[in-house]
Amino acid sequence: QSALTQPASVSGSPGQSITISCTGTSSDVGHYNYLSWYQQHPGKAPKLMIYEVNNRPSGVPDRFSGSKSGNTASLTISGLQADDEADYYCSSYTGIITGLVVFGGGTKLTVL
């Protein structure tokens, strides 16, 4: 099962908005709405930011939003803050035949 495709890096200034894409196939991103996004600061465990494409767990600010179109999902962060600088990973359920879960390669977000 190939990893989902994410840009290696994105950047933005404080207060701006950025979008990170996550491209899969019709067998994963395009087939299931079990699409999640994780934030990971250096040396820390991942933190769930978005689930089921566009839902936020309790405590995640509404500056974080998700969407999906076809085989591509997107994470948008508005009103960028310094603490948003981190690695971001998407993941999709893929079904039991192909190994249940596939992650993206990760995107490094730099807040300028």
User: What would the DSSP string read from start to end of 42-80?
Assistant: TTS--EEEEBTTTB--TT--TTEEEEEETTEEEEEE-S-
Binding part of the chain for another protein, among 19-27, 67-75, 77-85, 90-98 by CB under 8 A, reads 90-98
- Binding-site member from 7, 19, 31, 47 for another protein (CB under 8 A): 47
**Of the candidates 4, 64, 59, 80, the residue with the CA atom closest to the CA atom of residue 35:** 4
Binding part of the chain for another protein, among 13-21, 63-71, 77-85, 100-108 by CB under 8 A, reads 100-108
38 interacts with another protein by CB under 8 A: yes
- Binding-site member from 7, 21, 72, 103 for another protein (CB under 8 A): 103
Binding part of the chain for another protein, among 14-22, 67-75, 77-85, 96-104 by CB under 8 A, reads 96-104
30 interacts with another protein by CB under 8 A: no
64 interacts with another protein by CB under 8 A: no
Residue by residue, what is the 3-state secondary structure of 23-40?
ECCCCCCCCCCCEEEEEE
Q: Is residue 106 a contact partner of residue 7, using CB atoms and an 8 Å limit? A: no
Cβ-proximal residues to 62 (8 Å cutoff; 6+ apart), any chain = 56
Q: Give residues in contact with another protein (CB under 8 A).
A: 1, 3, 34-36, 38, 40, 45-48, 51-52, 55, 57, 89, 91-93, 96, 99-106
